[in-house]
Chains A and B, each alone.
Chain A
Amino acid sequence: MSVTTLDDVAEKPAIRITDSTLRDGSHAMAHRFTEDQVRSVVHALDAAGVEVIEVTHGDGLGGSSFNYGFSAVDDVKLVAAAVDEARQAKIAVLLLPGLGTVRNLKEAFDAGASVARVATHCTEADVSIQHFAAARDLGMETVGFLMLSHRASPAKLAEQARIMADAGAECVYVVDSAGALVLGDAQARVQAVIDEIGHQAQVGFHGHQNLSMGVANSVLAYQAGARQVDGALLALGAGAGNSPTEVLAATFERLGVPTGVDVQAALAAAEDVVKPIIPRLPHMDRSSIVQGYAGVYSSFLLHAERAGARYGVPPHEILQRVGEAGYVGGQEDMIIDIALQLAQERDLGDLAGVGTR
């Protein structure tokens, strides 16, 4: 057992928590955040000392669509409101190449966003090169996001992180979009990325709670050298949610790692500001655990529930099938396709059942 002393506190490097309640949490809100809600959450996070607050449709800029769900309020308006509300925090936006474009990024920048987070599937980093170039030209801070990181080996992930770092990413995140990485799996990937790009860029970790590993993986990532992690108040995010920002703040404080976040203020933000506005708390239910277990993109959860209800098939079976097919972030349309297949198989099964009688 180690005991944290004041000397340790002084020596330990800080970790920066980026709060994604208003981006990853947008999935859990079916992308229906209002401007007032964004203002109140930003106000609370900013006062708690969170340095970076991400505000975008769950699928990033341009995400408002049939496929991912339409936003209640345009991203650019929400970004502008967040920028207006923040006193010290920077406002970040997410962009998925193939969905969002440089044009979307410029609109967000004009609204005051100052951090560009560019996300690709973990093996497709080269589609982000033009977006990093544009973000750097605008003078934005740049972060790369390698999604569904459990699908790539540590060595492959390092190679992809190299592409992003060379394209201008100042930090590259190992993103556990499915909440599928278990402890050493997460740390080995963070370590490999640090070994490859650590001398020129920071490394971050984005965790999900589908197998309850978000915070533990974040600590292991820090111990491997990660200096940025993502959280969301009350874990509000896709699947079983993200690493809770307030738990990250409390845990790192106990470890003597400076975060700049006031634990009591973060707890109050979660309890008093976020809890009253969300329809349900993210939790580890059958479907979200299957996501972690089968390695399925967390944002697919509510889509699977809706398709399950529409076609009368169990959401966890849809998600299991999605995992087997190897679908990646953005392929929400395939959830309907699989629900249709399952419904067809069920109907054929019913017919077979009738036949045997």
Chain B
Amino acid sequence: MSKATAAIVGPGNIGTDLLAKLQRSENVDVRWMIGVDPASDGLARARARGVQTSHEGVDFLLGLDELPDLVFEATSAYAHRANAPRFAEAGIQAIDLTPAAVGPFVCPPVNLDVNLAAPNVNMITCGGQATIPIVAAVSSVVPVEYAEIVASISSRSAGPGTRANIDEFTETTAHAIEVVGGAQRGKAIIILNPVEPPMIMRDTVFCSIPAECDRDAIAASIHEMVQRVQEYVPGYTLRADPQFDDPRDIWNGHARVAVFLEVLGNGDYLPTYAGNLDIITAAAARVGDLMAQATVGANA
């Protein structure tokens, strides 16, 4: 069976972990790793994994006789904004792991089906990939007036980009909780914890729910969603059953469901505690896999 061809642009930690995941895919063949620094460790790692590399950036990639079907970009929002129109013009589907958000937000078990043919999709944020499935699971059963997520990650797994612009995380995630998760209003909080040994990524999702509703149906929907995420993130687990709290005046008379999650990474290239980084590369690999299936299927 033929595979879709792919390139990864950005040979950093994320790009390297993504490569390891995609090399297990039955549908995607990563042929190129693209960087800008000839001395890059990431390019050397990719060569060791049998992938052709270039330090001449996207110009090299777009100059190839045979262009890839898919490109994964793990650089910066600035770089992707510049590259996105060029990929689109060349007819290469782009999966964007930067905060650029040129294309629609995608969370695989929630809205990938309607975005499979999009020329460019954005992977939101790590906290978004971990929590939005749960918000969507609740909002598919009852109206969610307000959803709030708290992502706690190890300090060691927060890179300089996240640290320099932490507002981008909170604002982007909050927005995606609304447009992808289906909450009327979203809020996102991120906490960096330096404890040693490093803490495994934890996420808590709070959703307001109607005072009177079928709590068993909500719990069942959450459990089912967790299983769907586990298909591509095996270390995604509930710490406890969903917790329901009765309506309160200060919650506008709504009740609340609270969901406590742990995201243990797969340890492909990144350490297992960095579930935050793992879940975004795993989600991107999932998107690539399903896009490739759709492309190859259509060509077959």
Contacts and interface: CB of A to CB of B under 8 A. Distances in A.
A36 B240 CA distance: 42
Dominant SS among interface residues on chain A: mixed
B150 A67 contact: yes
B204 A124 contact: no
A223 interface: no
A99 B189 CA distance: 5
B152 interface: yes
Interface residues of B, number: 34
A98 B193 contact: no
A14 interface: no
Interface string B144-158: 000010101001000
Contact of A124 (B160, B170, B194): B194
Contacts of B204: 67, 333, 336-337
Nearest to B208: A66
A331 B154 CA distance: 12
Interface in A176-203: none
A340 B261 CA distance: 13
A127 B192 contact: yes
Given A121-B194, A127-B163, A130-B164, A98 B240 contact: no
Contact of B167 (A97, A126, A310, A326): A97
A334 B148 contact: no
Interface string B216-229: 00000000000000
Contacts of B299: none
Interface residues of A, number: 35
Interface stretch (B68-76, B117-125, B250-258): B250-258
Contact of A334 (B152, B163, B190, B250): B152
B194 A340 contact: no
Interface centre among A66, A97, A310, by most B CB within 10 Å?
Answer: A66
Nearest to B152: A331
B164 A98 contact: no
B83 interface: no
Interface of B: 148, 150, 152, 155, 160, 163-167, 169-171, 187, 189-195, 199, 202, 204, 206, 239-240, 243, 245, 250-251, 256, 258, 260
**7 pairs of A and B residues whose beta carbons are closest in the complex:** A326-B195, A333-B204, A66-B206, A101-B167, A330-B191, A98-B190, A123-B194
Given A126-B160, A129-B164, A328-B191, 18 more contacts: A66-B206, A101-B171, A103-B167, A103-B171, A121-B194, A124-B155, A124-B192, A127-B192, A129-B163, A326-B193, A327-B195, A329-B191, A331-B150, A333-B150, A333-B152, A334-B152, A336-B258, A337-B260
